[in-house]
Structure 1
Amino acid sequence: MREQIDVLIVEDNLIDQKLIANYLGEYDFSFKIVSDGHEAQILLESHSFFLIMVDLMLPKIDGFELTKIIRQKLKLEIPIVAITAFNINEVKDKCFAAGMNGYFSKPIQKIELVGMLTQFLPKEKLKSGDQYAYEVIDLSYLKEVSLGDKEYEIEVIEKFIETIDQDLSELQQNFAEKRGEEIKMIAHRTLSTIYIVGLRSKLETSLRSLENMDVSEMGSRLNCIQAICNKAKAEAKHFIDSVKQK
């Protein structure tokens, strides 16, 4: 039976290896780091993974060639995420064409790394010693800037709940009154509100799409935004309660 490991990182830079290991070490899942594509290929023949992160510039077998081996020779559909020092706009099309599922750039930022984990790993894998695995919100950025200040975290989350309540109320009111321009202004403002709780990837497209819609077309999009925000508020309140109980 193939041994199951959660994440495979293929990275030859020792500093980046240590950085990724420190970030991943906060979570309750297993990972393996190898330095080149040949080591990765051998490991993939005997182990199963939920996610592969691969540097594009590897010795001997680069990230593109390794992806080709994984897809065509090993016949594996494991999500593959590129790690690159290149300008993203210069390589993203090539990444997708090679069979990759995502990418993030160097220098490696924790918020981007956790975003990829959230996107591709099963949710139950994302629990850590002090962080509940929320379905909607992602508090990685908040925890990074708070430097462990729990009072600050509570203050920010309480402000998020207050502000998003106001934004949602104004969106619905202006929709009822068919005031499209006001809706677009509020939607643009809401983009700033959602960033601190990691909702950008879930709501940015919907909020920006309102800028190009007639008010008569906005109903279903607003309902979707409302549903995600209501779930985010519930999770934010859970976070506050959990911090206060400690």
Structure 2
Amino acid sequence: MIEQIDVLIVEDNLIDQKLLSAYLKEYDIAFKISNDGIEAQNLLKTFSFSLVLLNIELPIIDGFQLTKIIREPLRLDTPIVAITANKVDDIIEKCFAFGMNACIFKPIDKLEIFGILTEFLPDDKLTSGNFYPYQTIDLSYLKEVSLGDEEYEIEIVEKFIETIDQDLLDLQRSFAVKNDENIRMIAHRTLSTIYIMGLKYKLEPILRSLENIDTVDDEMKAKLNDVDEICRKAKTEAQHFVNDLKLKMN
């Protein structure tokens, strides 16, 4: 019996390979990676895939040629989603004409990938507790440093939740008494908390600006509100992640 794998990634760009891998690991999706069209054909003959994510700008055999091979002579009706960096007007039409099922553009967006997985993977896969669209946190770095140690992941994420709770409380109290120096200190402290959950790009600019605001005013209040909103969403998603892991381990 041919082994069933959720997704085949056909991508020669190492950065995009790593990005797609991180997204699929986050959703607990089984996958294999091919660097070119020849390797992809061999994998398609060896395994049964539910979805192919295909960079159409491949060397030697491009994505359009590979799609022709997948449809004929391999005679596979596996859904194929094109990935391209070329945002030209007729690219989507060309993808459909060659037998692909959808097309997305680089830079690759996590929510777009989630939508593709939702549309093309079997319904029973989508009922997995790990299949959850994290919109605020990014678990890529955590997964990289944990090396698959789920107990370590739980420990780190629970520590993040505890620490960020205290940081938010301290920021609120400091603002209430107009202690701008303390706000700057806490903002700096919080910078070291956010990285493990992939919040650098969402929070670092705001926290850096809080460090540089001289007085407690409406601008500081607005930025504190932004920090509070992002952190609370991150906490909710982080707790969901911990709950899923604990359920999985029991």
TM-score, normalized by the shorter chain, greater than 0.5:
yes
Q: Does 1:180 align with 2:180?
A: yes
**1:142-181 alignment runs, 5 A limit:** 142-181=142-181
Alpha-carbon offset, residue 16 of structure 1: 7.5
**1:36-115 alignment runs, 5 A limit:** 36=59, 39=62, 51-52=83-84, 67=86, 70-71=87-88, 74=91, 79-81=105-107
Residues 142 and 153 in structure 1, CA contact (< 8 A), matched pair in contact too: yes
Which residue in 1 is equivalent to 2:196? 196
Which residue in 2 is equivalent to 1:207? 207
Alpha-carbon offset, residue 146 of structure 1: 1.0
TM-score, length basis structure 2: 0.59
Residues 9 and 31 in structure 1, CA contact (< 8 A), matched pair in contact too: yes
Alpha-carbon offset, residue 7 of structure 1: 11
**Amino acid of the structure 2 residue aligned with 1:80:** K
Name the CA shift for 1:183/1:204 in 2 (closer, same or farther; >3 Å).
same
> Equivalents in 1 of 2:208, 2:157: separation in Å?
23
Alpha-carbon offset, residue 74 of structure 1: 4.9
What SS does structure 2 have at the residue aligned with 1:133? Answer: coil
1:117 to 109, 131, 140: 109
Query: What is the aligned-residue identity percentage?
Result: 44
1:32 to 54, 57, 70: 54
**Amino acid of the structure 2 residue aligned with 1:148:** G
1:72-94 superposed Cα distances (whole Å, 9 cap, x missing partner): 6759996433xxxxxxxxxxxxx
* Structure 1 unaligned blocks of 5 or more: 1-5, 55-66, 82-115
Alpha-carbon offset, residue 30 of structure 1: 3.8
Residues 7 and 49 in structure 1, CA contact (< 8 A), matched pair in contact too: no
The runs of at least 4 aligned residues of structure 1 exceeding 4 Å deviation read: 6-10, 15-29, 40-44, 47-51, 72-78, 125-131
* Structure 2 unaligned blocks of 5 or more: 1-6, 30-50, 68-78, 94-102, 119-124
TM-score, length basis structure 1: 0.60
Alpha-carbon offset, residue 211 of structure 1: 2.4
**Amino acid of the structure 2 residue aligned with 1:237:** Q
Q: Does 1:134 align with 2:152?
A: no
Alpha-carbon offset, residue 41 of structure 1: 7.5
1:184-218 superposed Cα distances (whole Å, 9 cap, x missing partner): 12112111101111111221121112123232021
Which residue in 2 is equivalent to 1:242? 244
Q: Size of the alignment, in residue pairs?
A: 189
> Equivalents in 1 of 2:82, 2:176: separation in Å?
45
Residues 138 and 198 in structure 1, CA contact (< 8 A), matched pair in contact too: yes
Which residue in 1 is equivalent to 2:71? none
**Amino acid of the structure 2 residue aligned with 1:215:** V
What SS does structure 1 have at the residue aligned with 2:137? Answer: coil
**Amino acid of the structure 2 residue aligned with 1:235:** E
1:120-167 superposed Cα distances (whole Å, 9 cap, x missing partner): 625444788745322211212112211121111111011101110111
**Amino acid of the structure 2 residue aligned with 1:177:** V
**1:217-232 alignment runs, 5 A limit:** 217-232=219-234
Residues 170 and 186 in structure 1, CA contact (< 8 A), matched pair in contact too: yes
> Equivalents in 2 of 1:174, 1:16: separation in Å?
42
Q: CA RMSD in A?
A: 4.0
